[in-house]
Amino acid sequence: MCGIVGYVGERECADVLVDGLKKLEYRGYDSAGIAVFENGKIVVEKSKGKLQDLVDKMAKEKKPEGHCGIGHTRWATHGEPSDINSHPHGNKRVSIVHNGIIENYKEIKDFLLDQGYGFESETDTETVAKLLDYYYNGNPIETIGKVIDKVNGSYALGILFRDFPGVLYAVRKDSPLIIGVGENENFIASDVPAILKYTNKYILLEKNEIATIKEDSVLITNEEGKVIEKEINEADWTMDAAEKGGYEHFMLKEINEQPNAIKTTITPRIQDGMPYLEESGLTKEMLKSFRRIYIVACGTAMHAGLVGKYVIEKLARVEVTVDIASEFRYRNPLITKDDLVILISQSGETADTYAALKLAKERGATTASVVNVKGSTIARESDIVIYTHAGPEISVASTKAYSVQLSIMYLLAFELAYVKGEISEERCRKLTQALVEIPEKLEEVLKLKERCQFIASRLINSESLLYIGRGLDYALSMEGSLKLKEISYIHSESYAAGELKHGTISLVTEDMPVIAVATQSDLLEKTVSNIKEVKSRGAKVTMICTEDVDIEKDIANHLVKIPKIYDELTPLLVAIPMQYIAYYTAVLKGCDVDQPRNLAKSVTVE
Ligand code: F6R
C-alpha cells in the first residue's frame, strides 16, 4: 500500500528515485511522483497512472535535477487516483511522501482551515504536510515531533524542508521504512529491494524514531532529539532476486523459483532427518503444551493456514482454528494464554494480521509468525518468528511465498505430531524425507507448463468458473480460485465438492468450466461422483489428480496429472498447475499479470 523512497548523494536524484519506485510498484500503482531539491527549491513532478506515465511526462517536460529528494508510488485510499491526489504533497516550504493512513485527518484539516490553510487534494496526507508547515519553527526534528504527537494512524513519511536542502527526514509508525546506508549516499525506502542496486546495508527505523539523513551521515533521534544508536543490518537478498531475470513476468519467475525457495526454507529446519523448529525458539516442550492453535492470516497466506489446519489436525490431533485476520480481530476470539496463535504473512506488514497479533499478545497467548520479509513489523513483534526464505516476491499474486508457508506448516505438523506421540519416529522421518524430496518433484511439475497453457486457452472466454475439491483439495481449490480471479478478472468460486448439490450446482451450465482437484486417495471416489454430477450438466471439467489414478475415459475433459507422493503433501505440487492456469489465462486475456487492477501487494491499511 504505497511505496516511498528517498535519496541523498552525488547521483542524479530523480533517476535513483525512479529506480527505487520501480521496485516498489508492487505496493501500489495508481500514481507516482517525486520531489527534488533543485537550486535550493523543492521541485515536484507527479502523475496519475503507473510510474512509466511519470517517466514519460518527465521525458516530455522536465526532469527535476538535483541530489536530494523523495518519491512515491500510490495505492489510493483517500481520494481517487488523480494528478492532484498524487504524492508528494505540501507547499513551497515542506514536501512529504506518505505510506499509511491518518485516521484523524478530518480533525486536523478543520483545525488548519481555521488557521487559514487551503487544501488542493482530497488526501489525508496533505493534512500532515500542512501541519508540518504550521508547526515549523526552524528545527525539523522538533517540528516532526510536534506533528507525530498530533496525528493518529499509521505512517512512514519522507520529508523535505526547503530550508534544509540536502537533508532528508523520515519517521514511521506502523508502516515499514528502512534507511539504506551507502558510501557517501543514503536512502530511505519502504522495502529492501528498492535500495539493493546501491547498497545492501540498512537500518530499521522503529516507531516514532526520527531520521535526519545527509549524504555522509544518518542520525536517529527520538522526539526530544535524544540520539539513538542503531544497528546496521545486511540484506541477504541479491539484486538479481528483484529482477525479472529473462522471464516475461515476475509471477512466472516466482512460480519457477519454488523448488529452490522450499529447499532454502526447510533445510535449516531439518536436523538428522527430523523436523527442527527449535532454532526459531519453538521448543518441543512449548509445542507439547499448547491447548489449541489459531492460524490467522489474509488471502493466500490464510489459504496456506487452511492446509496447515488439515495436516496438523490429521497428524497431530490438535484442534486448529483458521481465521481471516479482519474477522478475527473483531470477533472477540476465545484465545487464552495456553494457546498458540500463528500469524502467516509474506510481507509481515498486513494491517489486519498485525492487529490480530496485537490482540493475541494482549490475551497472553504465545505468538509465532511465519514471515518472508526480515525485520518486518509482524516478525519483530511476535514471540517467535519462523522466516520463510522465498526471497523477494514482487508479483502482486503470491506464488512462491505460499509454497514456503506450506512447507513450514508441514514441518510444524510433523514435529507436533511426533512430540505429542501421535506418529512414530519412523513415520516422522518418512514424512520429513518426502518433504525434502518435494523440490525435485516440483521440477517435474513445472514441466506441465504447456498442458496448463492449453487449459488456460479453454478458459479465457468464460465469465465464471468453479473450483471444487474435498479436504486438502478443497483448501487448494480456494487458492486456485483466488489466483485465477485476481489476475484474470474472471469470476470464480471454490466449493467443497460435496456441498455443490446444496445450492451451487444450479449455476452449472455448459458455459461454466469446473476445475476439480482430486488428489486425496480416500476421497477420490467421492470427488469423482461430484465431477460426474457437474459433467452430466454440461460443465467442461479439468481434473487435477495424481499419476497413479486410473480414470475412466470421459470422466473429465482435461486431465492434469501430478507425481504420486504422500496424500498429505500433494498441495505443494498442485499449487503449480493452479498458478500456471491462472497465469496463462491472464496472459492470454492480455491482463497486467504482475500488477492486477485495484490491488497492491502489501496491505498496510484495514
Ligand atoms: C493473493 C495475495 C494476497 C496476500 C494477502 C496477505 O495472491 O497475495 O491474498 O496473500 O494480502 O499478504 P501477506 O502475506 O503479505 O500478509
Identify any residues that bridge with 499 across adjacent strands, giving them in sequence order: none
441-595 and 244-436 share a CATH fold: yes
Range 443-472 average pLDDT: 97
Evaluate whether 4 touches 99 at the Cβ level (below 8 Å): yes
**Residue of 2, 13, 452, 591 with catalytic role:** 2
pLDDT band at 551 (very low <50, low <70, confident <90, very high): confident
Range 368-393 average pLDDT: 94
- The answer to whether residue 452 is catalytic is no
Evaluate whether 605 touches 100 at the Cβ level (below 8 Å): yes
List, for residues 232-263, the tens digit of each pLDDT value.
Answer: 999 887 777 778 888 999 999 999 999 999 99
pLDDT band at 174 (very low <50, low <70, confident <90, very high): confident
- The answer to whether residue 2 is catalytic is yes
- pLDDT, residue 375, reads 86
541-546 and 558-562 strand pairing: parallel
Evaluate whether 5 touches 188 at the Cβ level (below 8 Å): yes
Please report, for the chain, the start and end positions of each structural domain, with discontinuous segments joined by +.
3-239, 244-436, 441-595
- pLDDT, residue 599, reads 86
Asked if CATH classification 1.10.3480.10 holds for the domain at 3-239, the reply, yes or no, is no
Q: Which atom of ligand 1 is nearest to the CA of 346?
A: 14
* DSSP run (H or E) holding 455: helix 449-457
- pLDDT, residue 86, reads 93
Q: Which atom of ligand 1 is nearest to the CA of 301?
A: 10
**Residue of 253, 374, 561, 601 with catalytic role:** 601
Evaluate whether 472 touches 440 at the Cβ level (below 8 Å): no
Beta carbons within 8 Å of 251's beta carbon, 6+ residues apart: 395, 397, 399, 487, 579, 583, 593, 594
Q: Which atom of ligand 1 is nearest to the CA of 405?
A: 14
Residue nearest to atom 9 of ligand 1 (CA): 299
376 ligand 1 Cβ < 6 A? no
Query: Ligand 1: distance of its center to the CA of 149 in Å?
Result: 32
Strand ordering across the sheet containing 94-102: 89-90, 94-102, 153-161, 168-173, 210-214, 217-221
Evaluate whether 386 touches 369 at the Cβ level (below 8 Å): yes
Residue nearest to atom 16 of ligand 1 (CA): 345
298 ligand 1 Cβ < 6 A? yes
398 ligand 1 Cβ < 6 A? yes
Query: Ligand 1: distance of its center to the CA of 348 in Å?
Result: 10
According to CATH, the superfamily of the domain at 441-595 is: Glucose-6-phosphate isomerase like protein; domain 1 (3.40.50.10490)
pTM of the model: 0.87
pLDDT band at 573 (very low <50, low <70, confident <90, very high): very high
- pLDDT, residue 356, reads 97
419, HSE (Cβ side, Cα atoms, 13 Å) = 21
480 ligand 1 Cβ < 6 A? no
Query: Ligand 1: distance of its center to the CA of 299 in Å?
Result: 5
Probe target for ligand 1 pocket from 27, 322, 329, 347, with the most ligand atoms within 8 Å of CB = 347
Interaxial angle between packed helices 570-588 and 400-419, expressed in degrees from 0 to 180 and rounded to the nearest 10: 170
Closest CA to 196 of 247, 250, 242: 242
CA dihedral 575, 407, 265, 24 (to 10 degrees): 50
3-state SS record for 328-359: HCCCCCCCCCCCEEEEEECCCCCHHHHHHHHH
372 ligand 1 Cβ < 6 A? no
Residue nearest to atom 6 of ligand 1 (CA): 298
Grid cell 527505523 in the structure block, residue: 205
Q: Read off the C-alpha cell for 305.
A: 493456514
604 ligand 1 Cβ < 6 A? no
136, HSE (Cβ side, Cα atoms, 13 Å) = 20
Distance, CA of 531 to CA of 168 (rounded, Å): 61
List, for residues 104-134, the tens digit of each pLDDT value.
Answer: 999 999 999 999 999 999 999 999 999 999 9
Closest CA to 26 of 605, 606, 596: 596
- pLDDT, residue 238, reads 76
486 ligand 1 Cβ < 6 A? yes
CATH number of 244-436: 3.40.50.10490
